[in-house]
A and B are shown apart, each in its own frame.
Chain A
Amino acid sequence: MSVLELRSISKVYGKGAAEVQAVRDISLSVPAGTMVAVMGPSGSGKSTLLTIAGTLEEPTSGAVLVNGRDVAAMSGGAKARVRRRAIGYVFQDFNLLPGLTAAENVSLPLELDGMSARRAHLAGIKALEDLGLGDRASRFPDELSGGERQRVAIARAVVGERSLLLADEPSGALDSVNGEAVMRLIHTYCKRGTAAVVVTHDAQLASWADRVVFLRDGRLVDQTVPPAGPESLLEQPS
C-alpha cells in the first residue's frame, strides 16, 4: 500500500478569464521507504502539488489517499489528525518558532496532539540526538547555523514516527554541502520506511530520490526510471 496516492488530481484557481489551472490530472504513488523528487520550472505546479499532498488544500477534482484512506471522506477532525500525526513538513525557510528552543520546536507538534509535555520533550530530545543535535537542544533558532536550523526542522517533521515527509525546497537556503546533508538525512529516513516527496529545482539534490518526476504547466511530463545500479558507471571499455 502506498503511503501517499494522488489519483488524477487537478487544481483550478479563479474563474472565467482569471482561471488558472495549476495542476492537471496528476497521478502519483509514493510507497513506504521511497523518496520522490518533483522538479519543474517556477509556476509548473510543484508547490500546489505538495500542499494538496499535505491535505492543506483540496484538489478541484481527483482523490488524495494517505495510508490508504481517502482524505475527502474524512471529517475535519480526522483530517487534522492525519496532518498532525502522519505528515511532516519541511520548508525552505525552516519555519522554526524563534521564541522556542530547538527541543521545544521539535516537541510542539506532539504536545499539540495531546501528548504530555514531559513525554513530548523526551521524544523531541531523542529526535534531535538522532540528527546529531543533542547538544543544541536548549539553543534558540537564532543561535544555530542554517544547516542546524534545517536539521531541527527535519527533526520536527519526523518526530512521532510520521509516515509521510513533505519538503518544499528543503535546502534552498543552504550551501551545497549543507544541502547535501539535508538530502542525506531525508534519504536515511526513507530507508527506515518513511515516504517522502521533495520539491526542488536542483538536480543534484533531486538525484537523491528514488524517482524524479518532472512537471510542466501543471502536468507530469516525464519521470526517471529506477537506476540500473552504480556498477554500470564504473565499467569502462578497456
Chain B
Amino acid sequence: MSVRHALLALLSEGPKYGLQLREEFEARTGEVWPLNVGQVYTTLQRLERDGLVAALDGENAEEPGPQKAFRITPAGDEELGDWLRVPSDMSAPPRDELVMKILIAARVPGTDVHEVIQAHRTYLVQLMQEWTRLKEDDDGSDVAFALVMDAELFRLDSVVRWLDAADGRLRRAAADGWTPARTPPTIPALARRRRMGVVR
C-alpha cells in the first residue's frame, strides 16, 4: 500500500495539516489500516524533498508537527495521476509461501499433501468468517469499509479456490499414476517459465 500516494490524494482536495491527514486516511480506508502519525510526517518530509508537496506559507510554516500545513504541487498532481492510471506490476507471480508449501508437501515422503491443503483451507475459511462477522452489523453506509472487506474476502477466497483446484489436480494426477519425483521439466519448458518470471 502506498501511503505516499494516499497522502497526495488527500492533499489534492486542498491543503491539510499532518494530523488531519492521518485521520482522513484512516476514515477513507475503513479504519482497517491504522497509520502512525510519525509515518505521516516522515512521508510528508520526503514528498516535500521531492517537490511533490510544499509547506503552506504562514505564521507556523517553520514549525514542524501538527501546526504545519501542506499543499500538493503540480508535480505532485502529475505523480498522483500517473500512479492511479498505471497498473501495478503483477506480471511476475510473487513467491507465495503457501504455493511453496503445497509444492513441497507434494514431494516430502510421509506427508499427506491433502491434509496440508485442508489445514490451510480451514484456516482461511475461519479467517473469512471473522471478516464476514464485521459485515453482519454493517448497514452498507460506510462504502470504503465495505470495499476493503470485499477486497480481503475476495483475496482469501481466491486462495481457497486455488487450494481446491490444487487438491483436485493432485488427486487426478495420482490416479493417473503421477509421482512427484519423476519427469523433471525439459530445457525449453524451463526457458519459457523463466521468461514468465515463474522461475528466477
Question: Which A residues form the contact surface with B (CB < 8 A)?
Answer: 39, 41, 184, 187, 201-204, 206-209, 212, 214, 216, 221-225, 227-230, 232-234, 236, 238
Contact = CB atoms under 8 A, between A and B. Distances in A.
B34 A203 contact: no
B153 A214 contact: no
A207 B130 CA distance: 8
Given A41-B167, A41-B168, A203-B160, A209 B128 contact: no
Contacts of B154: 204
Contacts of B153: 204, 207
B179 interface: no
Contacts of B167: 41
B31 interface: yes
Secondary structure of the B side of the interface? helix
Interface in B111-125: 114, 118-119, 121-122, 124-125
Given A41-B167, A204-B157, A232 B130 contact: yes
B34 A221 contact: no
B122 A214 contact: yes
Interface stretch (B45-53, B57-65, B131-139): B131-139
Most chain B beta-carbon contacts within 10 A, residue among A222, A230, A238: A230
Contacts of B33: 236
Contact of B129 (A184, A201, A214, A227): A227
Contacts of A232: 130
B37 to A, nearest CB: 10
B88 interface: no
11 contacts: A202-B157, A204-B154, A206-B128, A207-B132, A208-B129, A212-B129, A214-B118, A222-B121, A227-B130, A229-B133, A233-B130
